């Protein structure tokens, strides 16, 4: 097989920054470089740019600008939401799901070591949390319910609104990690019932290292990053001005483009899924058949291991992933796939393809052309196939 094109299909890991976004950021490095906290004209320019970005983020998720706090990414937003709620809450119990991103799970585990109790809600075979399980899990001591809007590995969209309603009935704040949701489907904090919501610019055409936490007015959370009086005293640290400007521009573009991009991506996704399942035996779709991110394909190939698939794809110019990029350094099977009931050996053989802005139908063709051969070659050297 020879390399015919370069295809990036790992947009759930990160996306290229859009040219319009880079352009918007550029003046803030060396020209309008003022520290937004200062008083002079140069600083005011920076401050105004930040406030414009704040309005853009607020508008994109149906919030008010005063409810938006900029962070260094999705991970910080999740850490802050959870540790901040724990710090201020009058209890010691947190409810979350078994398939959260590690930014949520590992934060909860750290809190467990400090004496908090955490309920990790199970999911069904498609990766969905059942809202009734939230009802059962909440106690008098619960300080936070945190369930992601959409999963980064298998793309399953959660019934967030129903979960939020349960939390609200119990007067427990509700956090949602919407890092994968922004730009994929309409996100409105009121419709979702979110009190806290995390997002990250690099997942929708913005730069890495910048994100935001939405904090509904009146939600009590402690600070996470302590220091200067930036972000109205709630998130210290000199603001990443170019990054924040980039986040603002990227979210505008992503949300404005959604009516076109979502159906376009979903059509490619469906063609990929159908093509793979039809052409390659012993294969199953991971995640939900319909309640699924428009750009997410995740399939399990029996008898083979995911990393070796990735390497062969890479050699043919295709960038893909086995699960969340953060765990690719680990040798554990994906916690998301095993939570959905996949036996570990199938979990090990899963491939995630996530589509984006630059992908075309030709990219889909190319993947469908080379993938069957790769799977066949790897199965030919696998000791497992014979056994089945």
Partner 1 sequence: MAEQVGYSQKVMEHFMNPHNVGAIENPDGYGKVGNPVCGDIMEIFIKVKDDVIEDVRFRTFGCGSAIATSSMVTDMARGKTLEEAMAITRDDVATELDGLPPKKMHCSNLAADALHAAIEDYRGKQKKE
Ligand X SMILES: Cc1ncc(COP(=O)(O)O)c(C=O)c1O
Smallest distance, Å, CB 315 to partner 1? 6
> Applying CB under 6 A, which of residues 81, 86, 148, 347 lies at the interface with ligand X?
148
Work out the burial of residue 59: count CB atoms within 10 Å of its CB; fewer than 13 is exposed, 13-18 middle, 19 or more buried.
middle
Q: Do the Cβ atoms of 84 and 213 come closer than 8 Å?
A: no
End-to-end Cα separation, the chain, in angstroms: 28
If binding is defined by CB under 8 A, does position 360 make contact with a copy of itself?
Answer: no
Under 8 Å CB-to-CB from 42, ≥6 apart: which residues?
A: 32, 33, 34
Nearer to partner 1 (CB atom), residue 55 or residue 130: 55
Among 188, 314, 362, 376, binds a copy of itself (CB under 8 A): 314
For residues 53 to 92, the per-residue mask of contacts with partner 1, x marking binding by CB under 8 A and - elsewhere, is -xx---------x---------------------------
Give the separation between CA 99 and CA 330, rounded to whole angstroms. Answer: 17
- Enter the DSSP assignment of 295: T
Q: CA 182 to CA 356: how far, in whole Å?
A: 13
Q: Is 200 in the site for a copy of itself (CB under 8 A)?
A: yes
Phi, psi of 50 (to 5 degrees): -65, -40
The residue within the footprint of ligand X, chosen from 38, 238, 330, 360 (CB under 6 A), is 238
**Cα–Cα dist 320/85, whole Å:** 35
Closest separation in Å from C-beta 224 to a copy of itself: 8
Interacting partner of 52 out of a copy of itself, partner 1, ligand X, none (Cβ under 5 to 8 A depending on kind): partner 1
Is 249 a binder of partner 1 (CB under 8 A)?
no
Whether 108 is a known active-site residue: answer no
Which residues have C-beta within 8 Å of that of residue 106, sequence separation ≥ 6?
none
**381 forms part of the interface with partner 1 (CB under 8 A):** yes
Contact residues for 67 (Cβ-Cβ < 8 A; gap 6+):
58, 189, 214, 215, 216, 217
Q: How far apart are CA 38 and CA 10, in angstroms?
A: 40
H or E element at residue 8: strand 7-8
Distances (CA, A) of 227 to 65, 230, 388: 22, 8, 60
> Of the listed pieces 74-82, 156-164, 240-248, 312-320, which binds ligand X according to CB under 6 A?
74-82
202 touches a copy of itself (CB under 8 A): yes
Chain Cα centroid distance, residue 336: 13
Picked from partner 1, ligand X, a copy of itself, none, the partner binding residue 380 (CB below 5 to 8 A depending on kind) is partner 1
Pick one of 233, 259, 344, 373: the residue that binds partner 1 (CB under 8 A).
344
Q: Supply the minimum distance, in Å, between the C-beta of residue 122 and ligand X.
A: 18
Q: How many CB atoms lie within 10 A of CB 238?
A: 12
Q: Which of 88, 72, 82, 214 shows the shortest CA–CA distance to 146?
A: 82
Does 131 bind ligand X (CB under 6 A)? Our answer is: no
Which of residues 202 and 379 has its CB atom nearest to a copy of itself in the complex?
202
86 binds ligand X (CB under 6 A): no
For residue 381, the partner it binds in partner 1, ligand X, a copy of itself, none, with Cβ less than 5 to 8 A by kind, is partner 1
Query: Site mask, ligand X, residues 173-212, x = CB under 6 A?
Result: ----x-xx-------------------x----------x-
- Give the x/- contact pattern for a copy of itself in 7-36, rule: CB under 8 A: -x-x--xxxxxxx-xx--x---xxx-xxx-
Q: Which does 180 bind (CB under 5 to 8 A by kind): ligand X, partner 1, a copy of itself, none?
A: ligand X
* Set 326, 365, 368, 377: catalytic member: 326
Q: Whose CA is closest to 164, among 134, 140, 207, 139?
A: 134
**Is position 328 an interface residue for a copy of itself (rule: CB under 8 A)?**
yes
As a whole number of angstroms, the distance between CA 385 and CA 383 comes to 6
Contact status: 246 vs ligand X (CB under 6 A)? no
Q: Which residues are catalytic?
A: 326
Binding residues for ligand X (CB under 6 A) = 73-75, 78, 101, 103, 148, 152, 177, 179-180, 200, 211, 237-238, 326
């Amino acid at each position: 097989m020879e390399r015919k094109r370069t295809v990036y299909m790992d947009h759930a890991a990160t996306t290229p920054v859009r040219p319009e976004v880079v352009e918007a950021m550029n003046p803030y490095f060396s020209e309008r470089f003022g520290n937004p906290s200062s008083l002079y004209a140069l600083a005011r320019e920076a401050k105004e740019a930040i406030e414009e970005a704040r309005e853009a983020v607020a508008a994109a998720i149906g919030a008010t600008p005063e409810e938006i706090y900029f962070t260094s990414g999705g991970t910080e937003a999740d850490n802050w939401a959870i540790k901040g709620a724990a710090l201020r809450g009058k209890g010691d119990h947190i409810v979350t799901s078994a398939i959260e991103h590690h930014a949520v799970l590992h934060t909860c585990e750290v809190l467990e070591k400090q004496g908090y109790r955490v309920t990790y809600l199970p999911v069904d075979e498609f990766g969905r949390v059942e809202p009734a399980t939230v009802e059962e899990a909440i106690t008098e001591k619960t300080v936070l319910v945190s369930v992601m809007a959409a999963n980064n590995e298998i793309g399953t969209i959660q019934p967030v609104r129903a979960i939020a309603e349960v939390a609200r009935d119990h007067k427990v704040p509700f956090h949602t990690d919407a890092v994968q949701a922004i730009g994929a489907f309409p996100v409105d904090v009121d419709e979702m019932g979110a009190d806290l919501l995390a997002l990250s610019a690099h997942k929708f055409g913005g730069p890495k290292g910048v994100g935001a936490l939405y904090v509904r007015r009146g939600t009590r959370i402690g600070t996470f990053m302590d220091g200067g009086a930036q972000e109205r005293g709630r998130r210290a640290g000199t603001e990443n001005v170019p990054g924040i400007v980039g986040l603002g521009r990227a979210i505008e573009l992503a949300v404005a483009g959604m009516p076109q991009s979502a159906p376009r991506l979903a059509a490619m996704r469906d063609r990929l899924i159908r093509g793979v399942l039809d052409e390659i035996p012993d294969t199953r779709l991971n995640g939900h058949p319909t309640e699924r991110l428009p750009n997410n394909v995740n399939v399990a190939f029996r008898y083979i291991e995911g990393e070796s698939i990735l390497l062969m794809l890479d050699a043919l110019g295709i960038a893909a992933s086995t699960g969340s990029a953060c765990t690719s350094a680990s040798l554990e099977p994906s916690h998301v796939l095993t939570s959905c009931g996949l036996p570990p050996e199938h979990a090990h053989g899963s491939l995630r393809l996530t589509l984006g802005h630059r992908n075309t139908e030709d990219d889909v063709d190319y993947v469908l052309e080379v993938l069957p051969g790769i799977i066949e070659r790897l199965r030919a050297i696998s000791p497992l196939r014979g056994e089945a």
